[in-house]
Amino acid sequence: MPLAAPLAGADLPEDINLDGDPEAGRQIAFDRSKGNCVSCHVITGVPSPGSIGPVLTAIQTRFPSKRELAKQIWDPMVRNPDAVMPPFGRHEILLPKEFADVVSFVWTL
């Protein structure tokens, strides 16, 4: 039975700082014990990528702004209630600085 609406508190905070460090974000994204983006996504140059999620390439052509990308990483279930990607922001999987770093890294892809 699908959810009728996203869970409360799922929205990306208006005042969140998205000025992260792309290199630090790359390290988190590749860290299999933290961001672990590579377990589900193909990222150029990473061996043994996953295939559950979309290929992370041409991101700036797929999202109209860095903030829209951040919303997707914050809680992908807002756009797709059946998403298997964890809500990295809403569930506080990443600290605010780590979140900004990952968003900044993915924005460069």
Q: Write out the H or E segment, with its range, that includes residue 56.
A: none
* Tens digit of each residue's pLDDT (9 = 90 or more) over 64-78: 999 999 999 999 998
What rounded mean pLDDT belongs to the chain? 86
Residue 89 pLDDT > 70: yes
Q: Of 45, 24, 47, which Cα lies nearest the Cα of 35? A: 24
Q: What does pTM read for this prediction?
A: 0.85
Q: Any idea which residue has 């797709």 for tokens?
A: 80
pLDDT tens-digit map of 15-35:
899 999 999 999 999 988 888
Task: Tell me the residue type at 2.
Answer: P
Residue 14 to residue 5: CA distance in whole angstroms: 20
Taking the CA of residue 6 as centre, how many other CA atoms within 13 Å lie in the half-sphere pointing to its CB? 17
Q: How far is CA 99 from CA 47, 49, 51, 64, 68, in A?
A: 23, 21, 22, 19, 14
- CATH domain 22-108 topology: Cytochrome Bc1 Complex; Chain D, domain 2 (1.10.760)
